[in-house]
Structure 1
Amino acid sequence: MIIIENAAIATVDPDGTEHRNGHVVVDGERIVAVGAGPASVPPGEHTRIDGTGCLVTPGLVNTHHHLYQWATRGLAADSTLFEWLVELYPIWGRLDAEITHAAATAGLARLALTGCTTVADHHYVFPRDAGDQIEALVTAVTTIGVRGHLVRGSMDRGESDGGLPPDNLVETLDAALLGTEQAIDTHHDPAPNARIRIAVGPCSPFSVSEQLMKEAAELARRKGVRLHTHLAETLDEERQCLAEVGCTPAEYAEALGWLGDDVWLAHTVHLAPGAIARLGVTGTGSAHCPTSNGRLGTGIAPARDLIDAGAPVGLGVDGAASNESGGLGEELHQALLQARQRGGPQALTVRQALWMGTMGGARCLGRQDELGSLEPGKLADLALWRLDGLRYAGITDPVAALVLGAVPDVELMLVGGETVVAGGELRTADEAAIAAQLRAASGRLR
């Protein structure tokens, strides 16, 4: 058993239970006890961790990422989304499996060091003769030791068909569907304690045909996996959608069968009130990416309105080429700031921001029964944040310290009861070696 004691506890359970001084007990891969004061456990050889000065939360859940982009950070620094894509697509066309693996390993390491235990990665770039991109991601997830929800993306609408990607970077409809089905058959694990799951993810309306959107949704539902795509990220996208199909992106998605409780959408910045209501009624999730949206100037997503409508809302880092920090911890802070910029100081509380980064994300991924809160029987995915240094001195509310202050060091992070981070250091892989491999991969790509 692992016993964490003397720590503040924010369970993020349905009652919002917290303990100023409490314990969490882990047996194997699951939590067996959470409560106030010292733990009561039978005699035996246990690992006891003194959490004095720390806060325990559920592990953070990243609902949207593009790990391959770790190899192309810092480019197109002052561009709109469409300009940024036009500059980067030709570079991404030179990706191979080795570069993707190096980038993904670095990105996952950074996420782990910021308290993230589950990562949804949307990979939609499959250059010809570039090796097995999904296998490269799977091995990176396994190396770092987090949970991976790998979205097998696709694009079949190149420049010659009115899309943004170069023609040499898109697949045929049949190749996209076949590659997606193969990824599901090879890697998807439906078990409650799964480390790897696969979702279906055509990239976006401006890079995917209507037929691929429809058939991808049919494939996902036939296979019993979730659906994910970018939607309503920019006004440029809305203008294009109105010009081409005569409706907004949200209306287009619904017409194609892309709203439902098995769907989560990335960004959803530009939604009319009626669209927000439809996401709520259908249980469609939203991956809110505040830093990336700010970096690209796309706008402020109506996260608070979506929550009020009943839609699951989680947090996403998005690709590191539009969020060079690449950590999830700071998205708690950014989500709160953007919500308050949009709706005033009561728009989002510190505890609601933490909920978005944990249980909200678990709901988006359909894993609210297994992840997202500290409750007996749930998987032991948790973060122990150190809050006893100068940066937090005098802040009496540990959740406020976590959300409003600088991102704390992670004293301990467990995934399924296994140590991934301890003492602020990655314990599953060598950080210096990961950085060296990334530098070499990035240099070769550019």
Structure 2
Amino acid sequence: MSTAVDLLVKDAGLLVVDGEREIAGGWLAVANGRVTAVGSAGTEPEARTVLSAAGRLVTPGLVNTHHHIYQNLTRSYAPAVNGSLFDWLTTLYPLWAALDEEASYVSAYVGMAELLMGGCTSSSDHLYVHPRPHLVDAEIRAARDIGFRFHATRGSMTRSVEDGGLPPRSVTQTEEEVLADSERLIKAHHDASPGALIRVALAPCSPFSVTKELMTATAELAERYDVRLHTHLAEDRDEDNYCLETYGCRPVEYFEETGWMSDRTWVAHCIYPNDAELRRLAAAGVGVAHCPSSNMLIGGGTARVAEMRELGMPVGIGCDGSASTDHASLWMETRGALLLGRYRGGPGAMTARDALDLATRGSARCLGRADEIGHLRPGACADLVVWDLHEVALAGALTDPVEAWLRCGPARAWTTVVGGRTLVDRGEPVLPGLTDALRTHGTIARRMQQRA
């Protein structure tokens, strides 16, 4: 076995394999990008490369189920930060109209570096403004350059202000343009093979930004190519009013009418379904991306995570943002899920292990990859994190490393491994293009924000 193991991670204070198994002092072996074995101290195989976790917590890599990476170009944009969701959107849409391929690439490169530093090894991204072509291709190019596991969702908007929607015409497209480019992206980039780094999903932005015809046609296209579907749903009370006035029904009913009530679908936020709607979503296998920080910062409600999980729904964690949450730390979002769960349901409603399970196995279910990410059982993709908390922050935390990981803090990724490759080492990204990307990002962000 000694020549077959590419990487050995050993000396973990605690190795979390999945929601059922933890190994004190554990080790993990990797070959060809996959976990080949886990075990207890004293039984380690030889390996080409050995990484000592030095007593730290080791977990599966966290999985981000909802994000808008390009928005890191307008983070904490002062004129937008204290309005409602619709106020926020209408303020920022004109700035985002400047997005081009270079901006999409550098925002993705910087955003993925930030995700890796927060312990995220797989992420979806919802890019729904398309003032210019090939923006999703640029994101995918950044992911490939880094070696990041990436689910690009081809977002879209067709209803501009002139059509009764919110965005300006400059960031919308026709239905024909959206469907043609969606099909092109699937053919060019979607990799359905096991262990794939790049996959594509289809993601009209929301019920109030596209036509019913596009929602229906997108669901049919996803069925034809066997790709997943993603959108925002039941995020805001204004959405209820809009759908009632425009379509004569509530958002979940409209969602069902357009063919989206399927186990290939996961939705962002899902705050305002009523009890009957929630049961229908659960029965269909629809997943939910829970976005704690974004929902709290905008001042709306939050998803009923405990009830959703009791109904068997796939529920994962999403950063959202980067201009509504303004960060891309899955550790912060997981801690937010812990706090919100306990705030809503009491001390027994959410534990640190529950929150970790949301951010790993729950998120993997949302992306349709529960078999190979979100856990570290043999055969899984070798996506893992060695966590670091300063010894001052951990002083006195002696009994439970998982609870300490979220209750103490802040925590950061000491080492992040994707597919067996180390992309964060000693807390710093191992990305040769990051310095140049940050420099270009700063130039583009200043130019974009000066448009106002």
The reply to whether TM is greater than 0.5 is yes
Are residues 1:357 and 2:362 paired?
no
How much does 1:388 deviate?
5.8
CA distance in 1, matches of 2:158, 2:197: 29
Aligned runs of 1:50-199 on 2, under 5 Å? 50-75=52-77, 76-127=80-131, 130-199=132-201
- In structure 2, give the amino acid aligned to 1:3: L
CA distance in 2, matches of 1:429, 1:356: 32
How much does 1:214 deviate?
0.3
Are residues 1:426 and 2:429 paired?
yes
CA distance in 1, matches of 2:135, 2:325: 22
Q: Secondary structure at the match of 1:300?
A: coil
CA distance in 1, matches of 2:411, 2:297: 23
- The match for 2:30 among 26, 32, 40 is 26
Over the residues paired in the alignment, what is the CA RMSD in angstroms?
A: 1.4
Aligned runs of 1:277-356 on 2, under 5 Å? 277-356=279-358
CA distance in 2, matches of 1:264, 1:374: 23
2:157–2:209 contact (8 Å) kept in structure 1: yes
Correspondence for 2:3: none
1:12–1:355 contact (8 Å) kept in structure 2: no
Q: Secondary structure at the match of 1:191?
A: coil
CA distance in 2, matches of 1:289, 1:10: 26
- In structure 1, give the amino acid aligned to 2:13: A
How much does 1:338 deviate?
1.2
CA distance in 2, matches of 1:68, 1:38: 46
Correspondence for 1:228: 230
- The match for 1:436 among 412, 434, 439 is 439
CA distance in 2, matches of 1:249, 1:291: 23
- In structure 1, give the amino acid aligned to 2:11: N
Correspondence for 1:5: 10
Q: 1:286-306 CA deviation, whole Å, 9 max, x = no partner? A: 000100111111211111111
CA distance in 2, matches of 1:305, 1:250: 17
The gaps in structure 2 that reach 5 residues or longer are 1-5
- In structure 1, give the amino acid aligned to 2:292: P
2:389–2:410 contact (8 Å) kept in structure 1: no
Moved more, 216-225 or 393-402: 393-402
**Percent identity between the two aligned chains:** 43
Aligned runs of 1:243-282 on 2, under 5 Å? 243-282=245-284
Q: 1:68-121 CA deviation, whole Å, 9 max, x = no partner? A: 101011121101100000000111111111111111111111000011000100
1:392–1:405 contact (8 Å) kept in structure 2: yes
Correspondence for 1:404: 407
Moved more, 340-349 or 4-13: 4-13
1:73–1:321 contact (8 Å) kept in structure 2: yes
CA distance in 1, matches of 2:409, 2:275: 34
How much does 1:219 deviate?
0.4
How much does 1:265 deviate?
0.2
How much does 1:423 deviate?
0.5
How much does 1:437 deviate?
1.7
- In structure 2, give the amino acid aligned to 1:437: T
The gaps in structure 1 that reach 5 residues or longer are none
